[in-house]
Amino acid sequence: MIPAHNLEMKIFTGNAHPALAREICDCLGVPLGDATVSSFPDGERFVKLNDNIRGRDVFIIQPTCPPTNHNLMEMLIMVDAARRASAARITTVIPFFGYARQDRKDQPRVPITAKLVANLLVASGVHRVLTMDLHAQQLQGFFDIPVDHLHALPVMVEYIRKLNIENLIVVSPDVGGVKMASAYATALGTRMAIVVKQRKSATETEASHIIGDVAGKNILIVDDLTETAGTIASAARILRQNGALDIYAGVSHSVLTDLAVERLKDSDLKELISTNSVPLRLAPGSKITALSVAGLLGEGIRRIHDDESVSSLFEVKKPK
């Protein structure tokens, strides 16, 4: 098999987040591939790759954000088109991996949808996956192909350091996020605390108590994903009640609903710092700051193409 770095790189995107794909291509200095991705009158997707990709190293950029099923199916069809056009290797770049929370049987007679999606990607002809901040890192084991798992932490930490926040404490909004919060606390050289929550419904959570001292401290809540902003808003409220000062949130993926936008406006948060892994709703008063991960993903693509190590992208540069 010819090494990938000896092949021409071709990058395509579906309709989920073309702005991010164009930004990634700008970072790499390569043109975005020409593809027709449209719908038939009945809603079925039609894909045609207009560039010759025979023997090429193909990357397809498509977060599976809402409409999740639509964007997932579109990606699978693009992969099938690339496989049938004799691409030498196909890598799907999935900045946000939908269905990642359905990773185990926590009730009787429920599916493990994350594994199903992994099986669909492999069956469609994908050779490799590049993704970022999976909801659970063990999802990499659901694939029988290589998975490169990047983290938004270096991008987030670089921005947070520039804010020069004094007396900063990193907070996990639930027990499950302790590992992520610990990584941020280590990178920022500070301590951490934990908010213990109870889920009341699919859209509502209630923070019950805090493990750690937050009185008189500025707070950074870190999480991988927010949709309704219920967990973050509830955590911010109890942190304020316990004497916290300015409260920031750093979230890798903000897949915001209408309810989330309203909650953020009315919350105790000073700023929600997120990445552009999905299209962000930057409405007035939403308190959202968008950080680009195009450079991070672009460097991941370049290293995969050149058969170089991707693990060094996890390193956080020390402040000068």
Residues 197-256 have pLDDT tens digits of 766 665 566 667 889 999 999 999 999 999 999 889 999 999 999 999 999 999 999 999
Percentage of the chain with pLDDT > 90?
78
User: For 41-69, what is the mean pLDDT?
Assistant: 96
Q: Which is higher by pLDDT, 313 or 104?
A: 104
Q: Is the pLDDT of residue 318 over 70?
A: no
User: What is the C-alpha separation between 136 and 124, in angstroms, rounded?
Assistant: 23
* 197 in active site: yes
Percentage of the chain with pLDDT > 70?
92
Q: Which of 162, 197, 217, 270 is catalytic?
A: 197
CATH number, span 153-291: 3.40.50.2020
Q: Is the pLDDT of residue 284 over 80?
A: no
pLDDT number for residue 203: 58
Query: Out of 3.90.76.10, 3.40.50.2020, 3.30.70.330, 3.40.190.10, which CATH number does the structure's domain 4-151+295-314 have?
Result: 3.40.50.2020
Q: Is the pLDDT of residue 1 over 80?
A: no
Check: CB of residue 280 under 8 Å from CB of residue 274: yes
Write down the domain spans for the chain.
4-151+295-314, 153-291
User: For 74-81, what is the mean pLDDT?
Assistant: 98
Q: Is the pLDDT of residue 2 over 60?
A: no
Length, in residues, of the chain: 320
Relative to beta strand 45-49, strand 35-39 is antiparallel
pLDDT number for residue 48: 97
pLDDT number for residue 4: 65
Q: Do domains 4-151+295-314 and 153-291 have the same CATH topology?
A: yes
User: For 53-62, what is the mean pLDDT?
Assistant: 98
Exposed/middle/buried for 244, CB within 10 Å: 0-12, 13-18, 19+?
Answer: buried
pLDDT grade, residue 286 (50/70/90)? confident
Q: Is the pLDDT of residue 259 over 60?
A: yes
Q: Is the pLDDT of residue 295 over 60?
A: yes
The closest of 177, 113, 187, 190 to 154, measured between CA atoms, is 187
Q: Is the pLDDT of residue 320 over 60?
A: no
Of 113-127, 184-198, 215-229, 244-258, the poorest mean pLDDT is in: 184-198
The closest of 124, 59, 121 to 90, measured between CA atoms, is 59
Distances (CA, A) of 204 to 174, 230, 232, 233: 14, 5, 10, 10
pLDDT number for residue 38: 95
Please give the mean pLDDT across all residues of the chain: 92
pLDDT number for residue 201: 61
